[in-house]
Structure 1
Amino acid sequence: MEFIKGFTYGWMSRIGDFAKEEAKESMRLLKERTNSEYAIISLAALQDGAHSTEIDYSGDHMVTDEELIEMIGFAQSLGLKVMLKPTVNCKDGTWRAHINFFDLDVPCEPKWSEWFKSYTEYQMHYAKIAQKTNCDMMIVGCEMVQTERRENEWRNLIKEVRTAYEGPITYNTDKYQEANVKWWDAVDVISSSGYYPINDWDNQLDRIEGIIKPYNKPFFFAEAGCPSRSNSPYVPNDWNLEGEIDLEAQKKYFQVMFEKTNKRDWVLGFGLWDWKALLHDEKEAFKDDDYAVFGKPAEKVIKNYYSQK
């Protein structure tokens, strides 16, 4: 597999967002300003809570199929390759890692079979779009920690997706969870979220290498990034961490992450987090403490690294 110079694009975009000219300009800037070669278009369906079994991917919280197809085509016209990443959030704010049900069915309680039925329908809808638009990869789930023990259901889902989509498939497990997935043999590429402390990269890379090596499959970090906030480099996964705006802290995080991973030839790229479809004003970038890198020093670090790979 080639090295993936990727950026996650459009997370939390709503109906109409991709139809705006600003969104296309954002995609153009994504390529120009970071030298990315892959746009990972990430979609956020909704379920009511962690114990709900119905997934809604047709409401105003989603871009329409027409918008999505047009945006994929626009990205491809720029020379970008596209991964499609349909994932799910909970309306009540619970993180998707906590989606969970009883392992043994109980009458009148929500069941794994009901949830996977709805989730499979969701993935199949976008698998057909990924096939129609010649997407280069499909990411069939993200950081769904509690679901990962349901090995048979995941294997069946991946088998079903393959009936609609002929390209490579990966699953994006969460940080520290690489060993939690016992069905890596079912996917084409192994991926995880690389939100590791700036001072712990060597330890984590040693650990991950030992886990994935027996599978003999390509690996990349489908997500990785850091808010531009003081202390965030030590807990880059904590988007609620309180701290002062610190653009240099974010820049340093990317520098160290690239330095450490570059020494490991089995790390075959990134889907960096994240690039908004509707960007903030570049002149106001110094006021932004989020993961976004547009107009910040980290942006130049990324472009320089991707230009050299």
Structure 2
Amino acid sequence: MNGISFVASGEATTQEHLDAVVNINANYAAVMPFGFIRNLETPVLQYNTDRQWFGERAEGVKQYIEMLHKNNIAVMVKPQIWISRGEFTGYLKMNTEKDWKVLEESYLDFILIYARLAEQMNTEMYCIGTELEQFIIQRPKFWNHLITEVKKVYKGKLTYAANWDEYKRVPFWGQLDYIGVDAYFPISKEKTPTIEQAKSGLQKWKIEMQQISEIHKKPILFTEYGYRSVDFAGKEPWLSSREMKSINMYAQTNLTKALIEEMYPEPWFAGGFIWKWFIEHNKVGGLENNQFTPQNKPVEQELKKYFKLYGN
């Protein structure tokens, strides 16, 4: 899967937007509706409301899928939670049984709305959650129930997007089709790692992933992967702080090339979704941008080459 993470926008997507996705030889896209929670202890999700951007709610998800399918790009619907002030979703944890029950009911409704939509639109894959480690550890019975309920309404492939330091402990891989990993593994402490240094830093993680794949007899899928165009981008690749002011296109390019060259040829690896791709291609990224997007940066051309190479 040569995938891009198709970021929700306030507007509908157009053929002009999709031309850029087709141009890099992507054959998959993650479409990401959002639910919002006030803080780590709040049990109620807000979702599919008029206050949200078009692409964050069902109406927009449906339109994005229609346009992607029209361009022969397969789709993974990947609902996500945003906690105010950017709190990490992996820490979401209720303090009382009553609140846990409220959260479970709210989350199940959220997931089933988009599972039904994914089935209606004949999408190829559905992701039941993203980086929710404490929720899973504390409430394993709920997650088994959720998977059962999703399978009643959605017949495509299923995954869950586990954080890079979480995926080994997810208890329900046997019920899904892919072991989803948000692949922000720390692989280099160098300011500008070479491709060889980055590949070396990947080895222990690669061995670990192969072992987990063999244990569960499921392929590894990078539900997210990518690097910022900053100094030391391989040290803590998950950092999104805007306090990081440097710009380093070589680091982003070398790290991305190393990851793809190491992972894509492996028979137990199913591909991945680059983080992240904005719909208005001509207005984002560029040589002054140090965020994750590969758009209008040197790494975009590398992705185009690799996606063509591994397109089959």
Q: How many residues align?
A: 293
Is the 1:49–1:94 contact (alpha carbons within 8 Å) kept by the matching residues of 2?
yes
Q: SS state of the match for residue 46, structure 2?
A: coil
**1:53 to 2:43 alignment:** yes
Alignment of 1:1-309 (within 5 A): 4-11=1-8, 13-14=9-10, 17=11, 19=12, 21=14, 24-32=15-23, 34-59=24-49, 60-63=51-54, 64-102=57-95, 105=97, 111-149=99-137, 150-199=139-188, 200-240=201-241, 242-279=244-281, 281=283, 285-309=286-310
Q: Gaps (5+ residues) in structure 2?
A: 189-200
Is the 1:189–1:219 contact (alpha carbons within 8 Å) kept by the matching residues of 2?
yes
| CA distance in structure 1 between the partners assigned to 2:125 and 2:89 by the alignment | 22
Is the 1:45–1:62 contact (alpha carbons within 8 Å) kept by the matching residues of 2?
no
Q: SS state of the match for residue 166, structure 1?
A: coil
Q: SS state of the match for residue 287, structure 1?
A: coil
Identity of aligned residues (%): 22
* 1:44-94 Cα distance to aligned partner (Å, 9 max, x none): 210111111111112322424333212211111111111101111112431
CA apart distance, 1:39: 1.0
CA apart distance, 1:20: 5.3
* 1:167-206 Cα distance to aligned partner (Å, 9 max, x none): 1111010012122201111212111111123442111111
| CA distance in structure 1 between the partners assigned to 2:307 and 2:76 by the alignment | 18
Is the 1:45–1:61 contact (alpha carbons within 8 Å) kept by the matching residues of 2?
no
Q: SS state of the match for residue 226, structure 1?
A: coil
Amino acid at match of 1:205: K
CA apart distance, 1:280: 5.3
Q: SS state of the match for residue 39, structure 1?
A: strand
User: If the length of structure 2 is used for normalisation, what is the TM-score?
Assistant: 0.89
| CA distance in structure 2 between the partners assigned to 1:153 and 1:98 by the alignment | 17
Q: Which deviates the most, 67-76 or 78-87?
A: 67-76
The runs of 4+ residues in structure 1 deviating greater than 3 Å are none
Is the 2:127–2:160 contact (alpha carbons within 8 Å) kept by the matching residues of 1?
yes
Is the 2:47–2:110 contact (alpha carbons within 8 Å) kept by the matching residues of 1?
yes
User: If the length of structure 1 is used for normalisation, what is the TM-score?
Assistant: 0.89
